[in-house]
Amino acid sequence: MIRLYIKDLKPGDILLKQNFAVKEIVKKLSKNNTHYYTLTLSDKTGQVDAKIWADYFKDVDLENIKIGSVISVTGKVDSFRDENQVMIEKSILVEDFDPADYVTTSEYDIDEIYAKILDTVNSLEDAEIKKLILELLDLPEIKSKFLKTPAAMMIHHNYVGGLVVHVYEILTLAKASMELYPEANFSELAFGAIFHDIGKLEELDAGSLALNMTKEGKLLGHVVQGLLLLERCIPSSFDKNKKLRLIHMVASHNGKKEIGAPVTPSTIEAFLLSEIDNLSFKIGTFRMHLQKGEIDENGFSTYSPYLGASLVDPKTY
């Protein structure tokens, strides 16, 4: 039997015992007062929405469809609002599977990228900040998750090690910015680059086949969790004014209050971090959207709601 991955699905495809991980499942009530289920299915190539209508409940092992489980699906692929949607007609729990089929990984060598980050840290001029960064990265609650956690659930760098790649991009761009903005303190900016999203370690459950948000992540969000972690872990002996500037970068990195920043940037390092973070986010989102392969004859992709445009694939220039 040919294995169909989510990135290759198209409307009209018939699915016969195809395996997917369950990322989300919600029981709902239709307008005619009958129950149905909406699901998000995933594999290493992406994710797709799915539905189970009441007519098929008898052929679906609903008791074992849980977040993080792998199920064998028989059904078909439809289109809804220009997006694929799987209509599940039969399913059973799969117990024997290869986790590598369901976890999106990076094209980069994450250990190599992390080593480059450490090289930059070891070259920092501010010895106190350099020592702090290395100590924080070595803490068990950070060290055990940092190399595995994605930078986001869906939009950008949403693969194992995605946070490390996102950090490396920001750190590299921050280093280049010093030629134009020499008044900025690179040691402080490097700290912000490395730890601005550190709350993602607590917000996202990277240990599951189906990447999802933790309970704490839903209630607090990654900015608050990052601030709490740093407040708890930065030693009391650290320079208080410097600590305030470092914490400010983490608090303001989203740039605007309406998109999740408790405060807006007030230092040059915070402004640089916010703008560079946004650039890494946008290019990461651009790349991920084009990976769907939905390109028309003029080289334009489908509309990206996150970037507000249909995108032009550079390969079509």
Write out pLDDT tens, residues 29-60: 988 899 999 999 988 888 899 999 999 999 99
Global confidence as pTM: 0.81
- Residues 247-261 have a mean pLDDT of 92
- Residues 12-37 have a mean pLDDT of 92
Rounded to 10°, the helix 268-290/186-195 angle is 40
CATH architecture of the domain with residue range 110-289: Orthogonal Bundle (1.10)
Check residue 2 and give its pLDDT. 75
Check residue 1 and give its pLDDT. 65
- Residues 183-189 have a mean pLDDT of 98
**pLDDT at 89 exceeding the cut of 80:** yes
Contact between 106 and 100 under an 8 Å Cβ cutoff? The reply is no
**How far apart (Å, rounded) are the C-alpha atoms in residues 39 and 24?**
5
Average pLDDT, the chain: 91
Write out pLDDT tens, residues 106-133: 788 999 999 999 999 999 999 999 999 9
For the chain, domain boundaries: 6-101, 110-289
Write out pLDDT tens, residues 193-210: 999 999 999 888 776 776
Domain 6-101 has CATH 1.10.3470.10: no
